Chain A
Amino acid sequence: MAEYLILIYEDETAWSKSDQDTFDQIMKGHTAFSENNAAALRGGNALHGTDTATSIRKDAAGEVTVTDGAFAETKEALGGYYVVEAANLDEAIALAKQVPAVYGGVEVRPIRVFD
Chain B
Amino acid sequence: MADAHRHEWGFVLAATVRVTHDLDLAEECVQDAYARALSTWGSRGIPDKPAAWLTTVARRRAVDLLRRTASLRQRLPLLLDERADDPEPVPEITDDRLRLIFTCCHPSLAQPAQVALTLRLLCGLTTSEVARAFLVSEPTMAARITRAKKKIATARIPYQVPPASELPERIDAVLTVVHLLFTTGHTAPAGAALVRRDLVERSLDLTRMLRVLLPSDLGVAGLLALILLTDARRDTRLASDGRLLLLADQDRSAWDRPAIAEGVALVREALRRRPPGRYALMAAIAAVHDEAPSWDETDWRELVGLYDLLVDVWPSPVVALNRAVAVGFASGPAAGLAALDALAAEPQLAGYGYLAAARADFLRRLGQIAEARVAYEEALLLTENDVERQFLADRLRCL
Interface set of A (CB-CB < 8 Å, partner B):
2, 87-90, 93, 108, 110, 115
Q: Is the CB of B154 within 8 A of A88?
A: no
Q: Does B155 contact A (CB under 8 A)?
A: yes
Q: Is the CB of B162 within 8 A of A110?
A: no
Q: How far is the CB of A114 from chain B (nearest CB, A)?
A: 11
**B108 touches which one: A2, A87, A89, A115 (CB < 8 A)?**
A89
Q: Does B274 contact A (CB under 8 A)?
A: no
Q: Is the CB of B75 within 8 A of A110?
A: no
Q: Mark B106-138, 1 if CB is under 8 A from A, else 0.
A: 101000000000000000000000000000000
Residue pairs across A and B with Cβ atoms less than 8 A apart, 10 shown, are A87-B156, A87-B158, A88-B156, A88-B158, A89-B158, A90-B157, A90-B158, A90-B160, A90-B166, A93-B108
Q: A110-B154, A110-B155 are in contact. List 10 more A-B contacts (CB 8 A).
A: A88-B80, A88-B157, A89-B155, A89-B156, A89-B157, A89-B158, A90-B157, A90-B158, A90-B162, A90-B166
Task: For A115, list chain B residues within 8 Å (CB).
Answer: 75
Task: For A110, list chain B residues within 8 Å (CB).
Answer: 154-156
Task: For B75, list chain A residues within 8 Å (CB).
Answer: 115
In the complex, which residues 129-164 of chain B have their Cβ closer than 8 Å to any Cβ of chain A?
154-158, 160, 162
Task: For A108, list chain B residues within 8 Å (CB).
Answer: 155
Distance between Cα atoms of A108 and B162 in the complex (Å) = 19
Give the residue among A2, A87, A89, A90 with the most B Cβ atoms within 10 A.
A90
Task: For A87, list chain B residues within 8 Å (CB).
Answer: 80, 156, 158
What is the total number of residues of chain B having a CB less than 8 Å from a CB of chain A? 12
Q: How far is the CB of B335 from chain A (nearest CB, A)?
A: 43
Q: Mark B163-174, 1 if CB is under 8 A from A, else 0.
A: 000100000000
Task: For B155, list chain A residues within 8 Å (CB).
Answer: 89, 108, 110
Task: For A2, list chain B residues within 8 Å (CB).
Answer: 156
Q: How far is the CB of B219 from chain A (nearest CB, A)?
A: 21
Distance between Cα atoms of A2 and B155 in the complex (Å) = 9
Task: For B162, list chain A residues within 8 Å (CB).
Answer: 90
Q: How far is the CB of B155 from chain A (nearest CB, A)?
A: 5
Instruction: Name which residue of chain B comes closest to A94, CB basis.
Output: B166
Distance between Cα atoms of A87 and B160 in the complex (Å) = 12
Distance between Cα atoms of A32 and B106 in the complex (Å) = 29
Instruction: Name which residue of chain B comes closest to A110, CB basis.
Output: B155
Task: For B158, list chain A residues within 8 Å (CB).
Answer: 87-90
Distance between Cα atoms of A90 and B103 in the complex (Å) = 11
Instruction: Name which residue of chain A comes closest to B162, CB basis.
Output: A90
Distance between Cα atoms of A106 and B155 in the complex (Å) = 16
Task: For B160, list chain A residues within 8 Å (CB).
Answer: 90
Distance between Cα atoms of A110 and B108 in the complex (Å) = 13
Q: How far is the CB of A108 from chain B (nearest CB, A)?
A: 8
Distance between Cα atoms of A65 and B156 in the complex (Å) = 38
Task: For B154, list chain A residues within 8 Å (CB).
Answer: 110
Q: How far is the CB of A53 from chain B (nearest CB, A)?
A: 28
Task: For B157, list chain A residues within 8 Å (CB).
Answer: 88-90
Distance between Cα atoms of A30 and B288 in the complex (Å) = 53
Distance between Cα atoms of A93 and B108 in the complex (Å) = 9
Task: For A89, list chain B residues within 8 Å (CB).
Answer: 106, 108, 155-158
Distance between Cα atoms of A88 and B154 in the complex (Å) = 10
Give the residue among B106, B154, B155, B158 with the most A Cβ atoms within 10 A.
B155
Q: Mark B197-240, 1 if CB is under 8 A from A, else 0.
A: 00000000000000000000000000000000000000000000
Q: Mark B76-96, 1 if CB is under 8 A from A, else 0.
A: 000010000000000000000
Distance between Cα atoms of A90 and B156 in the complex (Å) = 8
Distance between Cα atoms of A28 and B157 in the complex (Å) = 31
Q: How far is the CB of B351 from chain A (nearest CB, A)?
A: 27
Task: For B106, list chain A residues within 8 Å (CB).
Answer: 89
Distance between Cα atoms of A87 and B81 in the complex (Å) = 10
